[in-house]
Structures are given as structure tokens and as C-alpha cells.
Amino acid sequence: MGILKFMFNGKLEKLDDYRWLIPKSYMEGMRVNGIIYADEKLLPSILKDNAPIQVANSAHLQGIVCQAMAMPDIHWGYGLPIGGVVATDIEKNGVITPGGVGYDINCGVRLIATNLMYKDIAKKIKNLIDVLFSFVPSGVGSNGKIKVDSKESARVFIEGAKWAVNKGYGWDSDLIFAEENGAMKGADPSKVSSRAYERGQDQIGTLGSGNHFLEIQTVEEIFNEDTARIFGLQKDGVVIMIHTGSRGLGHQVCTDYVEKMVKIGDKYGIKIPDRQLVGVPVKSQEGVDYIGAMSSSANYAWANRQVITHLVRRAFEQVFETRAENLGMRLIYDVAHNIAKFEKYNISGEEKLLCVHRKGATRSLAPGHKELPQLYQKTGQPVIIPGDMGRCSYVLRGEEKAVETFYSTCHGAGRVMSRNEALNVTRGRAIDKELAEQGIIARCAERATLREEAPMAYKNVTDIVNIVEKAGLSSKVAKMKPIAVIKG
């Protein structure tokens, strides 16, 4: 299916300094309003990208409740924009749409603490990133050392990160600090195609390509001392951030189910302006099948990040000649940002079970939420927001006001250039040398990837984070700067 880019020709109505309205009168068939979280500084780049039309398109989804939403890192995606959040009422024939989840199912990010300070690794950083680069495969089609046959793959699909821990690739405590404890219920390996099985059999423990990365960072600034201490963050401390997902498996699952849903056409009488948002009722057989395959892919992604965590610990052990436990390498948190989940919310005074699609959006649970680990009950959820490889990343915490977005917030900086644009702009430049001049060591499987992922291809993540904080969705805890990065 080719990408047809629509033009947004409406005017966003300012609700306040950080929220902009697309009224449902903008387009015939919109069931709810659209809301974009942004400020006036960011608005021109959002309008230039035309992604607001995708917010309006998603407002047509059958069973949608409240409003169609987009975070400030919004940019053009497949079906739903990157940064999009929509929820549908299951009991009102609400739909689930693969375009509302994305091709990289459970693309997500995790953050690992250490008890190391920058001074402890300053002289070893080059050796450390080289060892990590040799331990963690990266790049297009990268394969890992872990091979799984169909029977074992099915176990990965059901058990997720627990499968990896049981195989010796991690600690029991890692499962406590992963969203869904690293495994969604409802996975059904029988709904995953043989081609998807094949693509996933040798990619566990690999970064993949594109914007996926493994980054060593130091904590540059602390905004909330008490919360930072509970999270395990300290000024000048060293942390490791991992960003990857379900690799070729998830891409194939999305491809398979988009094709299936397009083929059944008008079976359920669902009308949408963009066929990339094709969907089916959650309770339909096709919906149940997709959920089983999507959940399998999500669990594979958690297993993948868990194995990479194990490889990171082994690399640190080799360089520092001591056990990872002695280095304090505990998992702070792991969050998904391309996923659909079933969650209960109060809608007009009545508790409803909703299908919440987050595509390029991160969960942001408030203090006291029942799904939080005991350690974070008073702080709220660690919200991990990576930036580009030349500036900074953030850890925030969830806030109660985020209930208006189904406890969702931004997921990163958001692109301002396509990959082709970035390649054109950086032609003839050596991005690795430019980063080295900033004190950042970069490794990648293909040099073109560094050009595609050059810092200028992204919005400034600080602008994004300031908006979600001032909108009340999340609040800043710490800011980290990169010192070494492996790009996919």
C-alpha cells in the first residue's frame, strides 16, 4: 500500500498555551474533536508536516471516545500519526487498527542504572562502546546468536521477558520494572504467520536499524531530588538507554493484518477517510486474531530488550572486571510506545473498558496507580524520553492530569526531516566526527544511518518535554547527555 499524503487545510483553535483543537466540524464524519499538545513555537513544524490531518482522520474511528489526540512530538506516520493516542469503546463496537499501533509493535525504551560515575568510565568509554558494539548486533537485518525454532518462538510470544530471564538472560527483578511485567496477556502464537515466525527466529538480542539505539549517558541535571533518588539517578551518574522493538517479526505481523483487513473491505460497514487506518471491531474474529498476533509481537520485543540488557551487563562486566550486581546495573523501567492495550477509565461517570492505541506515545501513570511497582507508588511511573544522539534525553514521572490523555505522554523528540531529507542535507558530512567534537563516540553498522539520524533531523527534545510538563502530563526528574552511542 503506497502512502497517500493528505493536506491539512484547517485552522487549529487555541484552547490554552499547550493545547490546540481540531473541531469535529472540520471534516464530515469526525465523531470527536482532535487535540494536539503543542506550543506556538512548535506549531509551524507540525502544520508543515500535515500530520494534523491524520489526527482528524483518526477521529472517524468507530467507537472512539473523548477525543483523538497527538503529543508534541507528532509527525507523519502510517495511519495514525507518530505521537497519536486514541481509545475506542469495546462495548460500542469499537475498532482496533494496526495503523494505530504501527509496524514496529512494542518499539519501546528501557533505562538501566549503574553506581558508576562519569569519572569512573571516562578513560574506558572507547573500549566500553567497542565491546558493546561487538556484543549487541545492529543494522538492517541484523541477526543475533540466539536462535529459536517455531516451538521455542511460541514460548517467547507468550512469556516475553520472563522467557529471557528463565534462560539466564537477566534478573527476576527486571520483570518487576517492565510495563506489563514484560508480557501482555492475550498472546496467541497460532495467529502469527509462518513468515513472521521466520523473520523473528534469529533477531532476539538485536537492535535493528533506523532510530533504534543503545546509548551510554551521564546524568547532567536533576530536577526532582527525591524522585531521582528513588529511581536510582544521581548527578554525573552513568546510565544506559536501550531503544528497540519487535524487529522484522512485528513488521510482518502488521503487514499481514493490514492486508487481511483491507481484503475484507466493508464487511463491518466501517467508513474511514484513509485506508491506512483500516480496522475491525475489537470483538470480531479478525480483531481477536490481530490482538493475539500483536500481543505475541509485543512480548517478543520485551524479550528482545531483556536479552540486550543481559548483553550490556556482560559487556560492562568484561570492561570493569566485576559482576554487574557490583556495578548496580538494575533496570529502572521499560516502557512500550507502539502498542494497543485494554485499560479501564471513567467515561461520563461510567467505568469503561477501552482499547487504547498509543503510537509513538508513552504511558505516564500517576502516583498510586495500581499497575505501578511498589517502589514507584509514591513517585509515579518513570517516563523515559530519548532525544537525538547529539543533545540530551530525559526521565520524567507520571502525573494525575495525564488521565485526560489515558495516562499518555510524548515518546521522544519527533522528526522534522524525513530520512531522505536528512541524507540530502548531510551529504558529504562525517556525522561521527562532528559528534566526536562534542565528546560523543558513535558506532553504527552503516554510516548512512548516522546521517539519517543526525541531530538536526529531529526537534529539540527539551522543547517537547517542556510542553508535556507545562500541560501537566508528566514532570521532569532528570536530564541525561549522551557520551557514547550505537545506532541501528
Closest C-alpha among 126, 228, 116 to residue 486: 126
Phi, psi of 87 (to 5 degrees): -135, 140
241 assigned ligand-binding residue: no
411 assigned ligand-binding residue: yes
412 assigned ligand-binding residue: yes
393 assigned ligand-binding residue: yes
466 assigned ligand-binding residue: no
Whole-angstrom distance, CA of residue 252 vs CA of residue 217? 33
357 assigned ligand-binding residue: no
Closest C-alpha among 50, 79, 119, 39 to residue 483: 119
472 assigned ligand-binding residue: no
- Say how far residue 182 (Cα) sits from the centre of its chain: 14
Whose grid coordinates read 536510582?
232
211 assigned ligand-binding residue: yes
310 assigned ligand-binding residue: no
414 assigned ligand-binding residue: yes
140 within 8 A of 445, measured Cβ to Cβ: yes
Q: What secondary structure does DSSP assign to 378-404, as a single string?
A: TT--EEEE---TTS-EEEEEE-GGGGG
243 assigned ligand-binding residue: yes
**Residue of 75, 310, 357, 411 marked active site:** 411
Torsion sign, CA atoms 99, 103, 104, 106: positive
33 assigned ligand-binding residue: no
457 assigned ligand-binding residue: no
Phi, psi of 103 (to 5 degrees): -75, -35
Q: What proportions of the chain, in percent to the nearest 5, are helix, strand and coil?
A: 35, 25, 40
Q: What is the CA radius of gyration of the chain?
A: 21
Closest C-alpha among 200, 216, 423 to residue 298: 200
369 is catalytic: no
60 assigned ligand-binding residue: no
487 assigned ligand-binding residue: yes
Whose grid coordinates read 479478525?
286
Give the annotated binding-site residues for Mn(2+): 104, 212, 243, 337
Where is the binding site for GMP, in residues?
A: 211-215, 337-338, 386-389, 393, 411-414, 487
Catalytic amino acids? 411
Binding-site annotation, residues: 104, 211-215, 243, 337-338, 386-389, 393, 411-414, 487
